[in-house]
Structure 1
Amino acid sequence: MRPILLRLSALLLLWPLAAAAAPTPDPALREAFLAHAAERYGLAADEVGAWLAKSTYRQGIVNAMARPAERTKAWHEYRPIFISDRRIADGRAFLARHREQLAKVEADTGVPAELIVAIIGVETSYGGNTGSHQVLDALYTLGFFYPVSGDPAQVEREAARGRFFRDELAQVMLLAREEQLDLAALKGSYAGAMGYGQFMPSSYRAYARDGDGDGRRDLFGSLPDVFASIANYFVAHGWQPGEPVVALAHKDESAEAFVADGLEAKYSLAELGARGYRPAEAQGHDLKATLVTLEGSGGTEHWLGFQNFYAITRYNRSPMYAMAVHQLSREIAAGAEVAAAP
């Protein structure tokens, strides 16, 4: 037999062994998950066990979780991914097509139409890319095999993330029952987020709304449901209608570097001013804010993030994500204003 055929034969013989080598959940962890799903969500152990048996470990999902753009890119690299001429133009066209429904949601909730559109634009390119991963596999993989860095300082954080994804796995099983979804067919991101707005199962169950009145909450095929649900998410996380999101800040030359304690807007403008960071434009009234420092293409940028900025970070806890959504929304709105002008 030729050498190439010998190698091929050897690979074919080894293939079943390689397939069988896929990791399986730790038995104790599996049993704890079954108990959690039953106690918290009323899911039968045999049903949950059957879904686990149908789930497949995906190494690509582990790899993707280990290198999200928010951790590997600076702001000047991250921003162009989401704020491009194409994404702005597509956002303006999407807003124009669905203006009536979006205007109704904005009137009902106070959440700007352009912000809802920007979320959909950043998350799924206006529905063009809602994810190709099996949600069941993604949550199974991250729930039982969350990537371990080997850093002792990250042990508890990584364990907590594993618990989070196992809970999401239980919730997607319940969600499928509640919303009559085909769990085996659900597709989404590598983290298990779904639909136009990329809701995790827990967010879907907690914040999704029936916007078209058909008695279901469909974040895959009903844009009225999608719009109402994204707006409701922001309302639930403290969106303040009519208030600003961010303001560019100037740093006094003599000011010492300051790192805010988290993203929550909890510093008064007077307190931040005393530290040497002042809004470039007067805000008209005192507001609580946090300080956000980003590395832009022109150097270091300082921004004051208000409560509405914090609300956007509840969607994704990266300040760069929130800034990208906000800036894209402003670009979309600017086009809408021009189109509406006489």
Structure 2
Amino acid sequence: MIQIQNLYKAYNGIAILDNINLNIQRSEIFGIVGQSGAGKSTLLRCINGLESFDKGKIIVNSTDISALSEKDLLSFRRKIGMIFQNFALLNRRTVIDNVMLPMECWHYPKEARRKKAQELLEIVGLADKTMALPHELSGGQKQRVAIARALTLEPDILLCDEATSALDPAITKSILDLLADVNRQMGITIVIVTHDMSVVKGVCNRMAIVTGKQIAAVGEVSETFLAEPSSLLELIGKKEVVAPASHRILRLSLRDTSIDQAFLNDFVSKLKLEFTIIAANVEQFYGKSCGHLYLSIAVENIERARAYCLNKGMDCTVLVPGGRPGGKDDVL
């Protein structure tokens, strides 16, 4: 659906994005995360042609956008909807007029504009607000208007630039639920730029982490959080899990019901090893339950415990002092 190849973008000779390679699949919800200034929003604007780039290619639906003329680029943008952090509504226009604006710019017949806008306002739950002005709406309602407006030209792709950062958690969840419904019902590919990890966990299928001007990690959201790459830990903060000096920590990755009480009973009865559960966390990732279980085990027993878990098909990692993954040489 969206292929980004060796993308390079600079401002005044200073690189903002360097050697970006990314594939976003049709009909998925894809999250792009990173620290402020990492280039997330710039990357999003390159995808819809609002920003030019210096090197590389962006191919959308088999179209190389860098090869498009200004006229063709304008037509191309019709199939890409955009939702902004500040809603970008016209204060003197009613809700339905704001929704109809893109169709007005493309000279749709008046009756067709109104019919489409009313249908979309019904979808986003604002059928009773058609004649309201933006100042009469809550933040969440304004963002729903913006979503309806972005859908008027029936886009293939919906780009969201920090679309929920100005909203409180409850309203954010309602907007994410709406985006998920739009994705399921219309099959629209959604790309979300955010610094809020709860947004990625709550609605995205896959994610990419942008750091150091490059893509540091890409993968399914749940698997990325289970793997805990260094780029992710830089964003969310390193988890400090400490064991006594004579012990090491065995981190087991939990995927739904892959580790249960029977496994822990076998762990004790068959290995005859003592251990202490020193931490555990399970989180929800858009329909999946995943997390980690941290066991404190004596140094002399850690490799035997690790080998047993691996033999049982468990994803496990030994953490050495400081909380970083370690190998056998670190442990012994």
TM-score range, shorter chain: under 0.3
Structure with more of its chain in strand, by fraction = 2
Q: TM-score, normalised by structure 2?
A: 0.24
Q: TM-score, normalised by structure 1?
A: 0.24
Structure with more of its chain in helix, by fraction = 1
